[in-house]
Structure 1
Amino acid sequence: MNLEDLIPTDEICTRYKIERTFVSSLYESGLIEIVTVEETEYVHCDEISEFERLRRLHYDLDINVEGLEAIQHLIGQVKKLQKQNQKLKNRLGLYE
């Protein structure tokens, strides 16, 4: 993992004006991944869009971390069903 692709959690907290405990609670819930390098915690740049979505849900809609976990689970199920639906459509297309 390249250090250039990592964003320090302190910088994220400053930039988005959020508490460090929110980032920690997302990590503890498994909603985002935090990488520790030389005692500094980082979030991979690929996870920033997911973090921003979770932040908006939490701060704008006042959804707690448990609610975010439920939403994340449901979104995962929807994506899984969409893939399964697409596979079935592809199979059905062979017979038409």
Structure 2
Amino acid sequence: MKKEDLIPAEEICSRYKVERQFVSSLSESGILEIVIIEETEYVHCDHLADFEKMMRLHRELDINLEGLEAIDHLLRQIKQLQKDNIRLKNRLGIYE
């Protein structure tokens, strides 16, 4: 993991105008992965889209942390089912 790909959590808080507690809550619930390097917390740039999605759901729809956890779980299940579907279609294509 390159340090260039990491964004300090404090910078995310200031740019998106969110409280530090919100980022910590997302991390504790497993929605957002935080990397700690030399006592500074970072978020990988690949996870920024997930953060933005959860932040918008929280702000615009006033969804609490438990609701965000449920949504995150369902979105992960959908992604896995889509991967399984593609894999099964590819296997089926062999027999056609």
Matched residue SS, 2:73 = helix
Q: What TM-score, normalized to structure 1?
A: 0.91
Matched, 1:42 2:68: no
Alignment of 1:1-96 (within 5 A): 1-96=1-96
- Higher deviation after alignment, 84-93 or 39-48: 84-93
Consecutive unaligned residues in structure 1, runs of 5 or more: none
Q: Distance in 1 between matches of 2:89 and 2:5?
A: 38
RMSD (CA atoms): 1.2
- 1:94 Cα deviation (Å)? 2.1
Gap runs ≥5 in structure 2: none
SS at match of 1:7: strand
Assess, with a 3 A threshold, how the Cα gap between structure 1 residues 3 and 87 changes in structure 2: closer, same or farther: closer
| TM-superposition CA deviations, 1:34-86 (whole Å, max 9, x none) | 11122211111111111111111111111111111111111111111112222
Give the Cα–Cα distance (whole angstroms) in 1 for the partners of residues 87 and 4 of structure 2: 37
The Cα of 1:13 is off from its aligned counterpart by 0.6
Partner SS, residue 80 of structure 1: helix
Length-normalised TM-score, structure 2? 0.91
